[in-house]
């Protein structure tokens, strides 16, 4: 299944508010010594967890109020931002699903919200590639395998992953 792609997902003002927080100096990023799997020994990323396991884990969770009005999720499973530093060559990660062990049993949706434009991308197992475009939103069933990359043309590649029931 091809992902749903929506460019200019949020108004320019609302997107800039979120982007300025995500790319600003005040948000806390936490080192994670892997990207998708524990045996990714040569890969790492920085994450910011907004919501996990029924709890808001970030003081910045309130920035999504208008976004939730647009999405109208029945349930939120997780909201997590990923920051990948620039690499000399694009590093392609491994295919995965965001919710391990669910295998589509609960029909969650996964969405990726791109914070900045860069030459990194999201790839799906069927070969579909979605470029990193600021204010782009993509959605697909949770059990759809996908993978991300680093970028070479910006200091960082930042996305926010949403897992939720519609």
Domains of the chain from N-terminus onward = 4-165 (2.60.120.620)
- State the pLDDT at residue 81: 96
- State the pLDDT at residue 19: 97
- State the pLDDT at residue 46: 93
Whole-angstrom CA distances from 91 to 29, 36, 52, 99 are 20, 13, 27, 22
Query: Which alpha helices (DSSP H) does the chain contain, by range?
Result: 12-22, 65-71
Which of helix, strand or coil describes residue 162? strand
* Rounded average pLDDT over 137-145: 95
User: 119 CB contacts (<8 Å, ≥6 apart)?
Assistant: 90, 131, 132, 151, 152, 153, 154
* Rounded average pLDDT over 122-133: 97
Q: How far is the C-alpha of 111 from the C-alpha of 138, rounded, in Å? A: 5
pLDDT in tens, 29-85: 999 887 777 777 778 899 999 998 788 878 788 889 889 989 999 999 999 999 999
């Amino acid at each position: 299944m091809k992902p749903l792609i929506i460019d200019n997902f949020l108004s320019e003002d609302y997107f800039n508010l979120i982007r300025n927080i995500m790319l600003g100096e005040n948000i806390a990023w936490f080192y994670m010594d892997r990207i998708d799997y524990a045996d990714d020994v040569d890969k790492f990323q920085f994450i910011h967890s907004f919501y996990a396991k029924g709890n808001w884990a970030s003081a910045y969770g309130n920035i999504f109020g208008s976004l939730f009005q647009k999405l109208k999720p029945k349930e939120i499973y997780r909201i997590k931002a990923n920051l990948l530093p620039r690499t000399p060559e694009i590093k392609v990660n491994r295919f995965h699903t965001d919710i391990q062990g669910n295998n589509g049993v609960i029909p969650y949706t996964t969405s990726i919200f791109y914070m900045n434009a860069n030459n990194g991308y999201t790839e799906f197992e069927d070969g579909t590639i979605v470029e990193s475009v600021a204010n782009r939103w993509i959605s697909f069933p949770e059990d759809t395998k996908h993978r991300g990359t680093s970028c070479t043309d910006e200091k960082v590649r930042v996305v926010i992953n949403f897992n939720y029931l519609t």
